[in-house]
Structure 1
Amino acid sequence: MTQFQLIVAGILVAVLVVASAIISKKLAALRNPLQVWDALNNIGLLPIRIRAWIFSTLVGFANPYTRSINFRITELRKGKACGVMKTKKISNPFRCVHAAALITFGETVGALAVFSLLGKKDRAILTNINAEYIKVSRGLLTASSVVDPIKDRESKELVNTVLIKNAAFETVAVLTLTWRTDLMSL
């Protein structure tokens, strides 16, 4: 290795050490995915793709089922989540995405949208998934979910919809997620 390559490698290692220190502090806050997402986005030295990979890996640690699909969260804001999924490795014998992979992807994006609205002591658990398969899904898929702000703190049920589209922006599946909520904090 040349001296320049050693310097670049040293800088990269230093950046990764700093990033891992910040991430490890925020791991305890994984109940609040928006806080972790914002912490990663405040690390200006990391490319956006690396930040998305780190966040998606952390989601995989929090929800091990998501490790079976190749997804990246691309946007996370209060009440909104978007992600992409590459589908080469999760195709079934019919050369389309397996239904369970679509549901895992949609549930992950929908859950992040819901959890971004919850306070520290709030809880939400998924009680129902309704999936409508509209078109055969192949290639790069995009999922998005938008949840309205919670206005009624006494409500015990929250419903959100996840749209999954293909590369041609055709809707391939619509998931309706029903959550049982315990909203304790203000």
Structure 2
Amino acid sequence: MPSTLALYRRLAGKPMGRWLFSRLVCFKAPYFGSIRPRIAQLEPGCCKATLRDRRAVRNHIGTVHAIAMCNLAELAGGLMVDASLPPSMRWIPKGMTVEYLRKAHGTLEATATPEIPVAAADSGYELPVAVAVRDTSDEIVFRARITMWLAPRAARAAR
């Protein structure tokens, strides 16, 4: 099975490739499908994902809902970590702190980057991931810091 990054690289340059990749991510993790994200860029150390402002992601005051932005941040952060990790490691989100800075309107773009280098290790460690969400005027409307737990994959039992 190809890695997430290998699949993205294979599809991204093709017509509808990023759309298809985004749909496949949502098939693998169905909850993210609720925000209909689009993966705009994926490489080791960076993921950019967008969220289109539409009625289904708005709150009662007509702005993009806070939790929709949390979902976008977690998706971008998780994909960035997945694309950055060596195959001997695995990850899971451990916690997230967020700041809502402005009312969010229009298409939003989340950019996720690691706060420290991602590396293989003999034991588990925490990786802080910074995610900034910008609106169409390039203003940061939301910021998140996601703590990811990285650990070596368990050795497979002999068959």
8 Å Cα contact 2:85/2:119 also seen in 1: no
CA contact (8 A) 1:87 1:139 kept: yes
Task: State yes or no: 1:38 paired with 2:38.
Answer: no
User: TM (normalized to structure 1)?
Assistant: 0.75
Query: Which deviations, in whole Å up to 9, do the C-alpha atoms of 1:119-144 show, x marking residues without a partner?
Result: 22311111101111000111110110
Q: Which has the higher strand share?
A: 2
Q: Does 1:176 align with 2:142?
A: no
- With the length of structure 2 as denominator, give the TM-score of the two structures: 0.87
Unaligned stretches of 5+ residues in structure 2: 155-159
Aligned to 2:73, the other structure's residue is in SS state helix
Distance (Å, rounded) in 1 between the aligned partners of 2:41 and 2:19? 12
Match of 2:66 among 86, 94, 99: 99
Question: 1:102, 1:136 → 2: CA distance?
Answer: 11
Secondary structure of the 1:173 match is: strand
> Deviations for 1:73-106, whole angstroms, at most 9, x for unmatched residues?
0101111100111011311120001111110011
Identity of aligned residues (%): 28
CA RMSD of aligned residues (A): 1.8
Residue equivalent to 1:128:
95
Larger radius of gyration: 1
1:143 to 88, 97, 110: 110
Residue 35 of structure 1 deviates from its aligned partner by 1.1
Is residue 119 of structure 1 aligned with residue 86 of structure 2? yes
Q: How far is the alpha carbon of 1:33 from its aligned partner? A: 1.4
Q: Looking at both structures, which has the greater relative contact order when contacts are Cα pairs under 8 Å and sequence separation is at least 6?
A: 2
Paired AA for residue 6 in structure 2: Q
Whole-Å Cα distance in 2 between the matches of residues 67 and 151 of structure 1?
A: 30
Q: Is the 8 A contact 1:70 1:87 kept in 2?
A: no
Structure 1 residue aligned with 2:157: none
3-state DSSP of counterpart to 1:34: helix
**Alignment partner, residue 24 of structure 1:** none
Cα deviation code 1:29-81 (max 9, x no counterpart): 3xx3111101213xx6x32xx11110100110111111101221010111110
Question: In proportion to residue count, which structure has more helix?
Answer: 1
Cα gap change, 1:152 to 1:53, in 2 (>3 Å): closer
Question: Which amino acid letter does the alignment assign opposite residue 68 of structure 1?
Answer: S
Runs ≥4 residues deviating over 4 A: none
User: In the comparison of the two structures, how many residue pairs are matched?
Assistant: 151
Q: CA deviation at 1:117?
A: 1.3
